[in-house]
Amino acid sequence: KGISVALTNPKAILFFIAFLPQFIQPGTFQVQQTGVLIVTFAGCSVVAHAFYVLLAQKLKRHLNSARRRKNVNRVFGASFIGLGFSLFTLKGRAA
């Protein structure tokens, strides 16, 4: 089911239609070039997602203590308060 959703995603289709043709040389095997570009993109995507998984595993080890989780919650809470305050002060300046 996930593959069918990914393959029919209009944003992904538009991205590939707009992005890939500029790297394909006319007059040569265009299907082969497109295949190489798609495999390269998929490989880069797998590497990026593997990096995210490894990073999440490392963070999980560091956030196991209640004290560290509490500190992270405070940092994120303060950042949300700061963002809210900045939105409040910019509200009158918006067009």
Note the pLDDT tens digit of each residue in 25-47. Answer: 888 888 888 889 889 988 999 99
The residue extents of the domains of the chain are 1-62, 65-95
pLDDT for residue 2: 77
Dihedral Cα 88, 80, 77, 69, nearest 10 deg: 180
| pTM score, whole prediction | 0.60
pLDDT per position as a tens digit, 66-87: 898 899 999 999 999 999 999 8
